[in-house]
Chains A and B, each alone.
Chain A
Amino acid sequence: MNLAIPDYRQLSPAVAARFERIRQRPVILSIQDLEKKFGTDGATHTAFDNVSLDIHRREFICVIGPSGCGKSTLIRIVAGLDEATGGAVLLDGHAVTGPGPDRGMVFQGYTLFPWLTVRANVMFGLEMRGKDTTTAESEAREWLDMVGLGKFEHAYPHELSGGMKQRVAIARALANEPRILIMDEPFAALDAQTRCQMQSYLLQIWKKVDVTILFITHDLEEAAYLADRIVVMGANPGRVVEFIENPVPRPRSAAQFLTAEYLSLKARLEELIHPPTETGEEDRLPMVKLTNVGDDVE
């Protein structure tokens, strides 16, 4: 079976034109030949190598791959929380050496500061950058209004639902007006319904704010719904398998889930991430037969 994304340049000239325009924009973040090895001398384990990627302004990039492909390590290096063993990460042409407010981060776990109210959480970064309290307060309120949580400014994080917490975390990261927003499986811990809602919120926010997004996920549909470009990584060792320009036109909606673009994209992603085994069979557990009970079931 040979699945391929239909040539969207013919399917949808508008989409092709959009990618052409994106390529004209300045590069915000440049990952060059990045490599990460763990361990010392003898027994080294390569998390990934040969990863290169240019992210353009206001682009929405999703990195997808099976567990163990090093995608989390990759963005921890971009965020400055980890160090690469080779290559470089350039933000606006300057090498990244440590964590900083120019790269906002939203984590998978809830990392709001539990001792601060929702508003004080959003104010945290503003205060770190030396803004006075009054300015920080009014700016924080604006960001909370934007994620639709203005009413909850005095609540404590433990009083919010998981989805609300992540919206505050997004507001907190965006309040610093970062060049790029890094999101590490931010919705993975949410239930399916909330996750869909959050994806739609994120697109709305992205539309309103001048920000570039680097988004890690292991959910194919999430990547297909959100991304401009999808970076597909493979494991053992971690590497980039393919760059896919997402053919699904914007604005995105649930109505697109049955379009040819969406389905062919999804099929291609499936093929890359869950490649068929050599025998053509799916992975089977070596099972011992215990009873005949299931024999008449297919």
Chain B
Amino acid sequence: MAHRDWLGLKMELPRKRRLLLTLLSFLAPVVLWSAVSYVPWLWHPLVRITAQGDVDYFAEDMDVPRADFDRELAKTRAAGTTPPEGHRVNPLYLPAPHEVARAFYTAFTTEPRLPNEPWLHESLGHSIRTIFWGFVLSSLVGVPLGILCGSYRFFSRLQEPFIEFFRYLPAPAFGALCVAILGIDDGPKIAIIFIGTFFQQVLVIGNTVRKVDPALIEAAQTLGASRWRLVRRVIIPASITDIYTDMRILLGWAWTYLIVAEVVGTMSGITYFINQQARYRNFDNVYAAIMMIGIIGFSTDLILAWLGTVLFPWKRKTRTASGRPSLWSRLRPKPIPA
């Protein structure tokens, strides 16, 4: 049945169709973008002047709205003077796909304009370093605290109400404070990512740990486990795969704080690169840099997903309750046969 029907309600599609649709999900926006870029009559609201003609305020390589161009064209024709020439273009902020594709390469090879400016790979490296330290520092405190909160009501009552409150304070609001305390370099940026990640992390992991099947804990108790060993040998391993998934999601959130963090103090990293390129009106580089963030984030997640199957062999056959593979397991590579 499922093989014949593309739109079977909640029915899994055959592998080939799944792949095809995945491809389409990326292809569709690219096709739309290509159409707008390459098909002249679809949008192209501007005209790029190639010959000034007898219009004084036109200059070569100038982009003017089509209406203005048409008006001047009519005027010159009526007056019998030399008409201006030009072709229709999109605004500068919408470069064509091939320009952005080229920028993926040229952005790396173009020397920075100013002597002290970082290269693109240095900017990216800086951003990744900022994320890394913010996330690692947050996890070093947040994960153990989350596990304690999930395991013991004592810590849960002691910590969570305040964290619950603090989590509503937007991390960027601490920007000025962080700069005052930690200076203008990387310190405040890492602090912003820490603040943005930490409070969510404790609550999310605390919740995950609380969801451990109590029957597993009771079974361990009847086998002689108690107190700390119960946490170490049962609660942590029982929740570790879910904690791992939480961490992947939290890492994604950390990326969203990156741009805000990099504006704090001296602008740095990929945000600085994007800003400079926009200032130079190199929008192809801007798009390439934004996409690079997406690519780095997404591929990190895929690598972590694959690493998960290596680390947690008992989860290799993960299926959701409905018998459908979970979202993450579908992104994972095939399990390695034992």
Q: Is the CB–CB distance between B218 and A99 below 8 Å?
A: yes
Q: Given A115-B240, A115-B314, A158-B314, do A128 and B225 touch, yes or no (CB 8 Å)? A: yes
Give Cα distance in the complex from A128 to B224, angstroms: 6
Interface 9-residue window, one of B16-24, B28-36, B229-237: B229-237
A95-122 contacts to B, CB under 8 A, are 98-101, 103-105, 107, 109, 111, 113-116
Interface contact A107-B215, CB-CB below 8 Å: yes
Please name all residues of chain B whose beta carbon is closer than 8 Å to the beta carbon of A176 when the two chains form the complex: 223-224
Q: Whose C-beta in chain A lies nearest to the C-beta of B318? A: A158
- Which residues on A sit within 8 Å (CB–CB) of B238? 113-115
Which residues of chain A are near B221, meaning CB under 8 Å?
A: 80-81, 98-99
User: CA A182 – CA B223 in complex, angstroms?
Assistant: 12
How extensive is the interface on chain A, given as a class?
20 to 34
Question: By the criterion CB–CB under 8 Å, are A81 and B222 in contact?
Answer: yes
Q: State A81–B229 Cα separation when bound (angstroms).
A: 17
Residues of chain B from 214 to 271 with CB closer than 8 A to chain A in the complex? 215-216, 218-225, 229, 233-234, 237-238, 240-241
A114–B234 alpha-carbon span in the complex (Å):
10
- Check: B41 CB closer than 8 A to any chain A CB: no
Please tell me if A156 contacts chain B, counting CB pairs below 8 Å.
yes
A176 and B248 alpha carbons, distance in the complex (Å): 39
B87 CB within 8 Å of chain A:
no
Note all chain B residues with C-beta closer than 8 A to A172: 223
A79 and B225 contact, Cβ closer than 8 Å, known pairs A113-B237, A113-B238, A115-B237: no
A238: interface (CB < 8 Å): no
Inter-chain contacts of A128 with B (CB < 8 A): 223-225, 229, 233
Report whether A105 and B222 are in contact in the complex, using a CB–CB cutoff of 8 Å.
yes
**Interface residue? A18 (CB, 8 A):** no
Known contacts A113-B237, A115-B240; A101/B314 CB under 8 A:
no
Contact yes or no, B218 A81, CB < 8 A: yes
Asked if B294 CB lies within 8 Å of chain A CBs, one says no
- Mask for B171-188, Cβ within 8 A of A = 1, else 0? 000000000000000000
With both beta carbons as reference points, the residue of chain B lying nearest to A112 in the complex is identified as: B219
Q: Is the CB of A109 within 8 A of B223?
A: no
Q: Given A109-B215, A156-B314, is A173 in contact with B222 using a C-beta cutoff of 8 Å?
A: yes
Q: Tell me the minimal C-beta distance from B316 to chain A in angstroms.
A: 8
Contact B240–A129 (Cβ < 8 Å): no
Residues of B within 8 A of A157 (CB): 314
B153 at the interface (CB under 8 A from A): no
Q: Does B312 contact A (CB under 8 A)?
A: yes
CA distance A182 to B224 in the complex (A): 15
Q: Is B222 a contact of A79 with CB atoms below 8 Å?
A: yes
CA A114 to CA B229, docked complex, whole Å: 17
Q: Does B317 lie at the interface of the complex (its beta carbon under 8 Å from any beta carbon of A)?
A: yes
Chain B residues in the interface with A (C-beta under 8 A): 213, 215-216, 218-225, 229, 233-234, 237-238, 240-241, 312-314, 317
Q: List 29 A-B contacts (CB under 8 A).
A: A80-B222, A81-B218, A81-B222, A98-B221, A99-B218, A99-B222, A101-B224, A103-B222, A105-B218, A107-B219, A111-B215, A111-B218, A111-B219, A113-B219, A113-B220, A113-B234, A113-B237, A114-B238, A115-B237, A115-B238, A116-B314, A124-B223, A124-B225, A124-B233, A128-B225, A156-B313, A156-B314, A157-B314, A182-B222
Given contacts A113-B237, A115-B237, A115-B238, 13 further A-B contacts (CB under 8 A): A104-B223, A105-B218, A105-B219, A107-B215, A111-B213, A116-B237, A124-B223, A124-B233, A128-B223, A128-B233, A159-B317, A176-B224, A182-B222
